Amino acid sequence: MPRTRLPGTLCDRLLDRLSSASRRHVASLRPAAPVPDRPLRVLIPRGLAALATQSGIGEAMRHQRRAVEALGHEVVTSPFAPFDVVHLNTPFPDTPLLARWARWRGRPVLVWAHSTEEDFRDSFTGANAIAPWFRRWIASIYRTGDAVVTPTPYARSLISRPQYRLRRNIHVLSNGVDTTFFRPDPSARQRLRESLGLAPDAQVVMSVGLQMVRKGILDWVEVARRLPDVTFVWYGRTDPRMITRDVAAAIAGAPANCLFPGYVAPTVLRDAYAGCDAFCFLTREETEGIVLLEALACEAPVVVRDIPIYREWLADGRVTHMVRGEGRAVVDDAVERLSALLAGDLPGLTAAGRAEAEAVDLHRVAERLGEIYRVQGVRPIGR
């Protein structure tokens, strides 16, 4: 099969640098000796990952960096700097190149499985048509790792299916949440309403995510239409060139009580979580859902679609309030649940939500990452 080259000059430069580096560092093919009592140098490369900074993968990579640093290790971002292990996170074309580069250097490769065929569907224009090919592509990327890391047991069950043909260790490691930053704050209620130009007693329901069918935005807009006295706020955006026609039409035709502030700073988002009356997350598929963890950490009352990943983990009536069905059925259920919650007829369940978030706090994630390093034999080695 002929070699596929990445479009543009970025790939050309990368291949040229890899080629010249290989000529200069033939000696690196020999196993390097361990270097005792030195922190690891962990490569979390930038590369094309810069395209994912406003996505869940981008946030997961920021969390990884903090977990690595919490263990006392050093993060490096250039593949041409000395490193002991590489974390690969994105399904972009430079990822297999980086995996080969690390293997040539004799460095362990950990590949994060954030994506599945299921959560690719109903995302961008044309996604459903190419979803089977996307699954083959990401499976080939996951197979480049010495081990695969995925955020939940549910995600592991998906990528363990025969179609992925994985013969690697699959570790479960939550993307985590910073519960010291995302925390309850009674004063956030007033700030949120002032920032949105709302009355102090306005009821606010929020959600966060890319604007796509999979995230439930079509149902969410219809729920807002049925509750005109409640303000619905959706944080996050999608590149207009990738947004599907039905989502674009839903946003353009959304009722006046729907607000779309776009992508906002973490402090603004924290105020929204802590100051809203409910977090309404009607996503159809997730491998974890960092924004849901953030909402739980801020003790926002949560209404979420009943999907397999959350059914046992964040049980209905104990941690969240779950809504069921498709189309009009799920809208009817969400309207009923939200109305009861906003009227005080349902418990907020916020203490249980906070406890679930604390169970995957970044410090606990860091401890588990250290265990994965030990299992995989990651250690400081010479240049």
pLDDT classification of 11: cutoffs 50, 70, 90: very low
Q: In CATH, what is the architecture of 188-358?
A: 3-Layer(aba) Sandwich (3.40)
**Nearest alpha-carbon partner for 49 in 97, 3, 4:** 97
Q: Span 49-60, mean pLDDT?
A: 76
Asked whether the predicted pLDDT for residue 237 surpasses 50, the reply is yes
How many CA atoms within 13 Å lie on the side-chain side of 219?
26
Answer for the pair 364, 14: CB distance below 8 angstroms, yes or no: no
DSSP string, 105-170: TT--EEEE----HHHHTTSSTTHHHHHHHHHHHHHHHHTTSSEEEESSHHHHHHHTSGGG---SEE
Answer for the pair 108, 377: CB distance below 8 angstroms, yes or no: yes
- Of the listed ranges 32-46, 161-175, 271-285, 325-339, the one predicted with least confidence: 32-46
**Nearest alpha-carbon partner for 66 in 179, 172, 144, 169:** 179
Residues of the chain with CATH 3.40.50.2000: 35-176+361-375, 188-358
Asked whether the predicted pLDDT for residue 380 surpasses 80, the reply is yes
Q: What pTM value is reported for the model?
A: 0.88
Asked whether the predicted pLDDT for residue 80 surpasses 60, the reply is yes
For residue 238, the surrounding DSSP H or E stretch is none
Give the pLDDT confidence score for residue 17 in this predicted structure: 52
pLDDT classification of 101: cutoffs 50, 70, 90: very high
User: CA 274, CA 183: separation in Å to the nearest integer?
Assistant: 7
User: CA 301, CA 273: separation in Å to the nearest integer?
Assistant: 9
Give the pLDDT confidence score for residue 34 in this predicted structure: 57
Q: What is the CATH number assigned to the segment(s) 35-176+361-375?
A: 3.40.50.2000
User: CA 226, CA 255: separation in Å to the nearest integer?
Assistant: 10
Q: Could you say which DSSP state residue 240 is in?
A: T
Answer for the pair 50, 77: CB distance below 8 angstroms, yes or no: no
Q: Span 316-328, mean pLDDT?
A: 96
Give the pLDDT confidence score for residue 374 in this predicted structure: 97
Residues with Cβ within 8 Å of 20's Cβ and at least 6 positions away in sequence, in order, are: none
